[in-house]
Structure 1
Amino acid sequence: MTAPTGGFSEIAFSEPTREMHGFHSQVMQRRCFIGFSSISFFIVGAGIVMPAWVAFDVGGSNLVGLVLLASSLAGFALAPLSGHLVDRHNHLRVTASGQLVRALGLLMLAPVQVLPDALSRPILLLSTVLGAFGYAILAGAMSGILQWLIPETERMRFNLRLSFFNQAGMALGTGAAGYGIAHVGSATTAALFAFVAISVLPLLRNLTAYPTRTHAAKRLNLFSASREAINYLVNEPQTLSASVSVGLVFAVIQITNLLLPGFVSHSLGGGSRLFGTLEMTAAIAGMAALAAAGIPAVARRMARMTTPLVAAAGGSLLVLSFATDPLVAIVLYAAAGMLWNLSRAAANGHLLTVVDSALIGRVQAFTSLLTGAVGALIFLLPTLLPNTTEAQLYMACGVMILVATALLALWTRRGRPART
């Protein structure tokens, strides 16, 4: 009798082989996603330094303010469009398009300093608008890819790890941009960063298993899609709470970015050295906290602590307002940096866990709108309240964020659970 072909022995050896191949493929996809994301934030770091420096060189502080205003307004105005594009089209293609838009924006900075004012200023502003639009598209599209790539139960831990690499990428990007401008000039640096932005696009090829499904948003125009997203947020308390939490955490960061220089000078009696020390301490402590949060046991606890972390981040502003000694301020600011980074990563991770993947782009757009609106109000505080000290503003903002977090928690408890 001849031995049968196939049978048990073939199944016994082929199934584990397929499982092992699938495991290695999944690991490779995650690594490529982390690599693309961290290099993307490397470009974000460059996008913080380069437009501001070029603007200052061309038109001084007034033009820097105009560029920052243009970036904020562009992010606010184009958020609904970016969210609709993300939910309407394949996320991989949208991610690549967003990266190309950002590369074009950086490349446009190269000739600005040698052009006459009649051309340089409009090109600089257009570059800023493209950078804001590209970032908005990337934020939504990459969130959609992450939802597909990572199971719901693992998203919080993965996002905490991803936040560490993103933070490192952004820090390196700001440093590299400053170094490049000093040694090879802004034009060459802009071209180099644009090249880096494009050169990482092949990493997306490793995500070829991403489904090219037809999105429900294809049946809707921009206004109908936006209305659908608003109805979804109103009827899903956990999703609305998660989105607002992201906005609150960004508000904390915007507040301290605005008030810290004056606080250092007026309340702590320090100068640029103390200012730099505080920023460096907060950044190092924040990255250390994110590294520790990637531990599975810690990440599982973090998944249940998003609201307390957001409240603690707001409370850190209140505590910091009482600091008058530089050494005490350094310790408090380091602890605050840990809370800011953890709360931001946790809020983003929670958002990715509870949002329906078909609406992730539009929900991210709502978060951008909220962040932009709150940011505009925050940046006007010194103008609206000229006789108020930075310490008093820290205290008032901390109290408002604590109150907002408490109201958000009550809203979530009273509502019904979100769809998953």
Structure 2
Amino acid sequence: MIFSVLRASRFRNYFIADIVSGFGVGMSTIGANWYLMDQTGSITSVGLMLSLNVIAGFLVSAFAGTFVDKWNRKSILLWANVVRAAALLLITGAFFGTGFHVEYLYAFAAVNGMGWALYMSASRSLVQELLTEKELIHGNSLIEISLQVGMFMAGGLSGVLYKYIGFEAILLLNAAAFLISSLFLSRISYSALPVEHDETSFFDSFKAGIHYLAERPSLFILGVVSIIPLVTTMVFNVVLPGYVSTSVGGDSIVFGLSDMSYGIGGLLSGFLAAPLARKLSQHGTILLIFLVSVVNLVAIAFNSTVLLLYIGCVIIGLTNSSLRILITTSLMASVSKSYMGRATSVWMGISLLLQTVSATGLGVVIDRFSPGLGFIVMGGLMLVGLIAYYVLNSKSKLPQKQTVEVEA
């Protein structure tokens, strides 16, 4: 059972900390979008805020991994939460003191992007330390479940709080969530990985991380394959509003239910990915899910009915989240713990760069043609992932430790 990993207090405390911090981030991010639209009525401003978030994350990802691999991962997460909470309190104070200024939201976006990039590198590396190789797939499944449940709750609560007590209160709650998350992180007791080459300079450590992946091209490509579902999800968020209004003639309710359907699929992946990998092989399951994703996305591109859109969105959530669970588990079982932070930051940097380029280019394509073409682009991305993974697997170039044993 996937919940068996929660028996150990060290992962249980991490899991609760992850839920709390993720819920706070989701609530404030959704609230910020609504707040900026209410105050400015400008889609351009919202787009700029999203771009600042991605750019800030991309810049930090260049050195976040090296930082994570040179210091204690738990301490990094703990203090990153404290610093983010302090930054949010300052931004909230600015809103209370001087009223609305769009620059404050841009500062919020930058803090969000930098914090997320550092959190991804440190948290993945910490999970790798907290769990045994056999437990990794269950741990990643639970993390995916918490992400989807958190987004459900954050979306609903953010709307209510924004309407009745305002965005400033949401920022205060997000700061409180970071501090509560830090309390649970501080309760984690485990044997931390000894820091290697502590005397080396930051730049030398960064070069060592690049060299580590350069000597393992199949591992690097597998990491790139792992970010394809993440980029596809971003494209989905860009395409969906226009698709709902034009291709299926829906309204805001249809849009909301479509987004919720994606979340349902993501939630199901936490329960289905590990059992499916147990019945089939790890490699076979990943190939099958990639194939189902490609077929589903192409079918949605030519769809014109709301019901099939809902079903298709459930499948998108299920396939994307399942691939993240399985491939991330493979990477955690393959990458040396001493280099996990740097490897993750490289892949996250590539992901953020692809998201930035894809969002800009896709907007132009959709304006000239139709939103349905966006799903064709998504299908093409997943097809690239399918081919790349198949080639790696067929040539037996995947890391020897990649096949992860799954417990019942």
* Shared fold, TM over 0.5: yes
Query: Which of 219, 226, 231 is matched with 1:246 structurally?
Result: 226
Code of the residue aligned with 1:184 in structure 2: it is I
Q: CA deviation at 1:373?
A: 1.4
Instruction: List alignment gaps of at least 5 residues for structure 2.
Output: 402-408
1:80/1:26 Cα in 2 relative to 1: closer, same or farther (>3 Å)?
A: farther
In the TM superposition, what is the alpha-carbon distance from 1:49 to its structure 2 partner? Answer: 1.2
**Selected match of 1:162 from 143, 148, 161:** 143
Q: Distance in 2 between matches of 1:327 and 1:380?
A: 29
Structure 1 equivalent of residue 69 of structure 2: 87
State the match for 1:125 in structure 2. Answer: 106
Aligned-partner residue type, residue 340 of structure 1? N
* Match runs of 1:157-236 below 5 Å: 157-211=138-192, 213-216=194-197, 219-222=200-203, 224-236=204-216
1:149 aligns with 2:130: yes
Q: 1:11 — aligned with what?
A: none
CA drift of 1:323 comes to 0.9
Residues of 2 paired with 1:114 and 1:151: CA distance? Answer: 47
Partner of 1:66: 48
Structure 1 segment 407-418 matched on structure 2, within 5 A: 407-411=388-392, 413-414=394-395, 416-418=397-399
1:115 offset after TM fit, Å? 5.2
Contact 2:95 2:104 (C-alpha < 8 Å) held by counterparts: no
1:340 aligns with 2:327: no
| Equivalent pairs, count | 395
- Residues 42 and 171 in structure 1, CA contact (< 8 A), matched pair in contact too: no
| CA distance in structure 2 between the partners assigned to 1:28 and 1:250 by the alignment | 30
In the superposition, the TM-score normalised over structure 1's length comes to 0.85
* 1:244 shift after superposition: 0.9
Please name the residue that 2:404 is paired with.
none
Structure 1 position 77 matched with structure 2 position 59: yes
Partner of 2:332: 352
1:245 CA displacement: 2.0
Aligned: 1:134 with 2:115: yes
Q: Is the 8 A contact 2:52 2:113 kept in 1?
A: no
* TM superposition outliers: structure 1 runs of 4+ over 6 Å: 23-26
Tell whether 2:286 aligns with 1:306: yes
How far, CA to CA, are the matches of 1:341 and 1:254 in structure 2?
13
Using the alignment, how far apart are the partners of 1:389 and 1:46 within structure 2?
Answer: 31
Contact 1:42–1:169 (CA under 8 A) maintained in structure 2: yes
Distance change >3 Å, CA 27–CA 276, structure 1 → 2: same
Q: Distance in 1 between matches of 2:163 and 2:8?
A: 39
2:80–2:115 CA contact under 8 A, matched in 1: yes
Match of 2:244 in 1: 264
Question: Does the CA contact (< 8 Å) of 1:87 and 1:217 recur in 2?
Answer: no
Match of 1:327 in 2: 307
Bigger relative contact order (CA 8 A; separation at least 6): 2
Pair 210,51 (structure 1): closer, same or farther in 2 beyond 3 Å: farther
Worse overlay, 248-257 or 173-182 = 173-182
- Select the residue among 260, 272, 288 that pairs with 1:280: 260
Cα–Cα, structure 1 residues 106 and 405, in superposed 2: closer, same or farther, change >3 Å? farther
* Separation in 2, partners of 1:315, 1:109: 45
TM-score, normalised on structure 2?
Answer: 0.87
